[in-house]
A and B are shown apart, each in its own frame.
Chain A
Amino acid sequence: MTIDTPGTGLDPTHDPTRASGLADPGSVSGITRSRTTTILGAVVLAGAGLWLFLAFGATDPDVRIVEGNEVGQYDAIRLMYVHVPAAITAYLAFFVTAVGSAMVLIKKSVWWDLVAGSSAEIGSVAAALALITGSIWGKPIWNTWWEWGDVRLLTTLVLFMLSLGYLAVRRLEGTAEERAKRSAIIGLLLLFNVILVNRSVELWADQTIHQQSTIADAKIEDLKAFTLYYSMLLGAVAYAWMLIHRFRLAWLERQYDRFGIDDAIARRHAEGASS
């Protein structure tokens, strides 16, 4: 089977599945896979099974008796085990983006630039899920899908939009240095925004329908707390697994860009020599 490679000048009969000295770089189907990602992927899959069991099989609905009345979120509490990990994963991803951005500005490191960009993309997905699942959770509990006056919702939305802006700036015209520097500055702003989102319910306690820190004040306990911690840990492992894959894709994209340019220059030289 030949591969159509328009514009690259690559040999269309080139066999990309041929092995080389790297771990498994010759296999196109598993190009971003390695022993580490295989183990992490297996942990995530097995962990997801336990996550579902804890969230739906082991934990009870939220039902409490207050002054003789039955109150609580009932089974809607189970949305917490997907909403909170999504938000925490977004925080983690944007923190890594900010660290990578700082390293780009200090050391002009390509490696950190690719890590920052990869992490921001995963963070955007996580932030979008945090917003969506929060909205779905909010409807049965607060009787609203969205509340514009809530500072945590607004700051999270700003964080999500900023991450999209970061990703857009990475694709703007300009030299690699210009793009890296511009995006790194926005990457640092993401960290500031993460802190703002996290502290918003304390800073503007009267402008939110979110409760204040649940874990710190031990408002939930026992198996529900364990399930919540476990969900956050699983989110972090899944993030690490996806980050490695996404970084390897980013590296491929960079190599493809460079290889294409190198090849175009070589062809121009060849054309000049023949005329």
Chain B
Amino acid sequence: MTHVPYLIAGWGISIAAVSLYAFSVMRRAKRLAALVPVDRRRWMTGDDADIIGES
């Protein structure tokens, strides 16, 4: 196989970056969820002001 260092760098950086990003989103959500009441944690429908500036 040719160009192995380039393949390792390109694929490695991509897979690592996407994995780290996904992990960081879930970690941030986990930390934040502990500070938000249970009934406010998920957007469902119509139970909160849906218009910007009206809350």
Q: How far is the CB of B35 from chain A (nearest CB, A)?
A: 6
Q: Which residues of B contact A136 (CB under 8 A)?
A: 6, 9-10, 13
- Chain B 6-21 interface mask (CB, 8 Å, partner A; 1/0): 1101110110011001
- If over half of B's interface residues share one DSSP class (helix, strand or loop), that class is named, otherwise mixed; here it is helix
Given A76-B6, A248-B42, also A259-B13 (CB < 8 A): no
**At the interface, is chain A mostly helix, strand, loop or mixed?**
helix
Give Cα A267–Cα B43 distance, bound, in whole angstroms. Answer: 26
Q: How many A-B residue pairs lie within 8 Å, measured between CB atoms?
A: 147
Which range contains the number of B residues in contact with the other chain? Answer: 35 or more
Contact present for B29 and A76 (CB under 8 Å): no
Asked whether A125 lies within 8 Å of B21 as measured between CB atoms, the reply is yes
CB <8 Å contact, A248 and B14: no
Contacts of B26 in A (CB 8 A): 32-33, 245
Asked whether any CB of chain B lies closer than 8 Å to the CB of A188, the reply is no
Inside 8 A of B2's CB, which chain A residues have their CB?
A: 61, 74-76
> Among B9, B10, B40, which residue has its beta carbon within 8 angstroms of that of A259?
B40
Residues of B within 8 A of A (CB): 1-4, 6-7, 9-11, 13-14, 17-18, 21-22, 25-26, 28-30, 32-44, 48-53, 55
Identify 27 residue pairs between A and B in the complex whose beta-carbon atoms are under 8 Å apart, listed by A's number.
A3-B35, A8-B35, A18-B38, A25-B38, A26-B38, A28-B30, A28-B34, A32-B25, A32-B26, A33-B26, A75-B2, A76-B6, A82-B11, A83-B10, A86-B14, A109-B52, A113-B52, A125-B17, A129-B13, A129-B14, A136-B9, A137-B6, A139-B6, A140-B6, A248-B43, A255-B41, A259-B37
